[in-house]
Amino acid sequence: MNPLDRIRWKRTLRTPSSERLLGVLDGRDALAVDLHFLPDGSVAGTVTVVDGCGIGRDAIPAVLERIDDDFLPGVDLDEGGVVFTVVWATAAESFESARQE
């Protein structure tokens, strides 16, 4: 099975003009995606790929197409209006502060 077919997406943040998604592959964080919806209707995104997650550099065009198809209904990667920056990370962790009550 293609690794891209096994990615499960989790929305971790959403505002009126942006959202953050986490792509989980085989139970591990594999991708972090930040999307920013700009006033002119275009979208700027950053895709962070965790080294060793099972997604190779050759799969990035397919990853970007999947993000476009699944999360960007108002724009099309093939027709312009979307800019992605892809970053490779050697390690990633998530920390959340505890609220003081």
Residue 36 domain flag: yes
Residue-by-residue DSSP string for the chain = --GGGG-EEEEEEEETTEEEEEEEETTEEEEEEEEEE-TTS-EEEEEEEETTSS--GGGHHHHHHHHHHHH-TT-BGGGB-EEEEEEEES------PPPP-
**Per-residue pLDDT tens digits for 4-49:** 788 999 999 999 999 999 999 988 889 999 999 999 999 999 999 9
Residue 33 domain flag: yes
Residue 60 domain flag: yes
Range of the domain at 34: 3-89
Residue 95 domain flag: no
Residue 96 domain flag: no
Residue 40 domain flag: yes
Domain count, the chain: 1
Residue 69 domain flag: yes
Whether the per-residue pLDDT at 92 is higher than 60: the answer is: no
**Per-residue pLDDT tens digits for 44-70:** 999 999 988 889 999 999 999 999 999
